[in-house]
């Protein structure tokens, strides 16, 4: 290890950027590593380039709010390393690769702020070209200024309507929205509405987006019960069923979404405690109110520790950074209480809407656990629901043993796209809870890297020594 810092932050979204600002204000040395070429994460992707063009208007005020966090981050003095992949973290620090180089970084504390990912949407035909996640559709817009005209949006959750509305703002046609949120969600969600109204702007924003989509003539189909996609070499049509019958709609692109879940392979690789969250139907790290994990050196902030949205993510990043500064002796208890208390209170208020949204858009079981045995669950290894069912019938006890039975979870995504589906499918088939079934055991490297990537540090060091020797000669 040739570097040592007080705090290493992984991820430059709202949580990571806010954590860096707060840590630097406490005089901590900070290195922030991020895979993307510029700060922002998914929610503020491209914010550095979008400040003066039409994109900010298309994406809305919530996106534009990221500019202030971005400005503070750029000015805070953190050592920012873009286009850098972290492939190992542990109590001694982390390992990284970037542009043909690799290295290691020692850190007294590591803060993981890798955000969320979209929940898998395993359904017949979901591997066809032209079927993408709503988040992918948003990336096309933010990063490449590209949009798909005439796309069909399928699924449920606030992001589905947000991206459809952004496409509408971009001047393209949204062919239809197929909302899969079960009608049965309405009654239990209504009981949580009073709490959500403590933050009414979220409700108002959603209603305005839906109203705008309706005014534009977008076809909306609610209480969709089953979805499949068909085509020869690429998507040609989406099929669905609701209470009134079965339907089909020709289209070349479909954006699917069933909510977001923590992107947890990095925290899983550390061995820190995780628990199944029945409210959000996902695994999440077991954290205290300040983002501390069960490991002394590891903190988690933002949606990677539980879904809360951009505002809560930014607040949690600052809170965790203050906790790290206090734990490292850079902030006494009185100062820590004074700085953290208003942030904790603000985050609690912002999270008031979350139980309502989680219940209203709780994905139906049939969209989380495929009913058709031919549906592919693990896209990397082409493992079907039937393959998993047969393995469970043969006595396979959990996801890690399933790797030996079927190779599920052993592809390049390392279980990111199938982990939750496998857990819930095996739980249903075996009559156990997801907590009892467990998750994949994630090992280093966390992200796919080559031996050459890892050896880049040695190669670069040897080249540097040769240049120094040549200069001396």
pLDDT digits (tens, 9 = 90+) for 201-239: 999 999 999 999 999 999 999 999 999 999 999 999 999
CA angle, residues 315, 263, 360, in degrees to nearest 5? 75
In a domain, 468, yes or no: no
User: Where on the phi/psi map is residue 326: left (φ > 0), alpha (ψ -120 to 50), or beta?
Assistant: alpha
In a domain, 154, yes or no: yes
CATH assignment of the domain containing 380: 1.10.10.1100
Question: Looking at residues 265-291, what average pLDDT do you find?
Answer: 97
Co-location of 396 and 410 in the same domain = yes
CATH assignment of the domain containing 88: 3.50.50.60
Question: Looking at residues 116-139, what average pLDDT do you find?
Answer: 96
Co-location of 191 and 135 in the same domain = yes
> Is residue 465 predicted with pLDDT exceeding 50?
no
In a domain, 358, yes or no: no
Question: Looking at residues 315-328, what average pLDDT do you find?
Answer: 98
In a domain, 471, yes or no: no
pLDDT digits (tens, 9 = 90+) for 20-46: 999 999 999 999 999 999 999 999 998
Co-location of 50 and 113 in the same domain = yes
Return the HEC string of 419-473. Answer: HHHHHHHHHHHHCCCHHHHCCCCCCCCCCCCCHHHHHHHHHHHHHHHHHHHHHHC
CA distance 233 to 270: 41
Co-location of 252 and 125 in the same domain = yes
In a domain, 158, yes or no: yes
pLDDT-derived band at 60 (thresholds 50, 70, 90) equals confident
Which DSSP helix (H) or strand (E) runs through 277? strand 274-277
> Is residue 176 predicted with pLDDT exceeding 50?
yes
In the chain, what percentage of residues exceed pLDDT 70?
95
In the numeric block, the tokens 């109590």 are attached to: 91
Co-location of 209 and 307 in the same domain = no
Total structural domains within the chain: 3
pLDDT at position 259: 96
Co-location of 169 and 252 in the same domain = yes
CA distance 442 to 88: 11
Co-location of 411 and 296 in the same domain = no
Q: Which of 153, 417, 165, 205 is nearest to 311 (CA)?
A: 205
Co-location of 92 and 105 in the same domain = yes
Question: Looking at residues 75-91, what average pLDDT do you find?
Answer: 97
- The reply to whether the predicted model has a pTM over 0.85 is yes
Question: Looking at residues 443-453, what average pLDDT do you find?
Answer: 88
Domain boundary among 258, 279, 305: 258
In a domain, 344, yes or no: no
What residues form DSSP beta bridges with 376?
384
Domain boundary among 205, 237, 258: 258
In a domain, 217, yes or no: yes
> Is residue 249 predicted with pLDDT exceeding 50?
yes
CA distance 135 to 436: 31
Which DSSP helix (H) or strand (E) runs through 389? helix 385-393
Co-location of 213 and 153 in the same domain = yes
State the chain's maximal CA–CA distance in angstroms. Answer: 84
pLDDT at position 348: 97
pLDDT-derived band at 57 (thresholds 50, 70, 90) equals confident
CA distance 315 to 306: 13
Co-location of 131 and 234 in the same domain = yes
Co-location of 298 and 273 in the same domain = yes
Question: Looking at residues 440-446, what average pLDDT do you find?
Answer: 94
Average pLDDT, rounded, for the chain: 93
Co-location of 49 and 155 in the same domain = no
Pairing assessment for the beta strands 282-285 and 274-277 based on DSSP bridges: antiparallel
In a domain, 341, yes or no: no
pLDDT at position 114: 97
Domain boundary among 331, 359, 380: 331
Instruction: For residue 42, give its domain range.
Output: 4-117+262-331
């Amino acid at each position: 290890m040739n570097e040592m810092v007080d705090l290493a932050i992984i991820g430059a979204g709202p949580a990571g950027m806010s954590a860096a600002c707060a840590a630097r204000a406490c005089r901590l040395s900070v290195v922030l590593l991020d895979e993307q070429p510029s700060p922002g994460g998914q929610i503020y992707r491209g914010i550095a380039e979008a400040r003066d063009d039409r994109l900010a208007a298309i994406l809305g005020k919530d996106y534009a709010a990221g500019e202030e966090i971005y400005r503070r981050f750029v000015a805070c003095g953190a050592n920012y390393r873009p286009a850098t992949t972290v492939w190992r973290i542990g109590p001694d620090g982390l390992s990284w690769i970037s542009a043909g180089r690799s290295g290691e970084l020692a850190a007294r504390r590591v803060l993981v702020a890798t955000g969320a990912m979209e929940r898998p949407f395993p359904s017949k035909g979901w591997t066809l070209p032209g079927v993408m996640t709503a988040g992918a559709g948003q990336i096309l817009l933010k990063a490449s200024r590209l949009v798909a005209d005439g796309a069909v949006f399928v699924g449920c959750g606030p992001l589905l309507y947000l991206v459809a509305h952004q496409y509408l703002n971009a001047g393209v046609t949204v062919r239809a929205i197929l909302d899969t949120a079960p009608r049965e969600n309405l009654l239990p969600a209504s009981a949580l509405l009073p709490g959500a109204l403590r933050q009414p702007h979220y409700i108002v924003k959603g209603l305005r987006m839906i109203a705008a989509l309706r005014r534009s003539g977008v076809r909306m189909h609610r209480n969709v019960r089953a979805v499949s996609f068909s085509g020869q070499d690429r998507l040609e049509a989406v099929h669905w069923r609701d209470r009134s019958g079965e339907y089909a709609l020709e289209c070349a692109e479909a954006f699917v979404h069933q909510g977001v879940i923590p992107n947890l392979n990095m925290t899983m690789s550390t061995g820190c405690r995780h628990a199944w969250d029945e409210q959000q139907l996902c695994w999440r790290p077991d954290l205290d109110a300040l983002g501390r994990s069960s490991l002394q050196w590891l903190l988690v902030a933002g949606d990677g520790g539980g879904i809360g949205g951009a505002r809560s993510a930014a607040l949690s990043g600052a809170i965790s950074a203050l906790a790290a500064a206090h734990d490292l002796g850079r902030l006494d208890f009185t100062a820590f209480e004074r700085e953290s208390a208003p942030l904790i209170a603000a985050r609690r208020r912002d999270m008031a809407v979350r139980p309502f949204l989680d219940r209203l858009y709780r994905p139906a079981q049939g969209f989380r656990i495929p009913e058709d045995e031919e549906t592919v669950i693990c896209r990397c290894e082409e493992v079907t629901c039937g393959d998993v069912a047969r393995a469970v019938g043969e006595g396979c006890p959990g996801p890690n043993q399933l790797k030996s039975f079927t190779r599920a979870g052993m592809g390049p995504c390392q279980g990111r796209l199938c982990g939750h589906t496998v857990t819930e499918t095996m739980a249903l088939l075996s009559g156990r809870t997801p907590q009892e079934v467990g998750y994949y055991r994630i090992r280093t490297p966390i992200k796919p890297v080559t031996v050459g990537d890892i050896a880049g540090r040695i190669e670069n060091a040897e080249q540097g020594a040769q240049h120094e020797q040549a200069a001396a000669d």
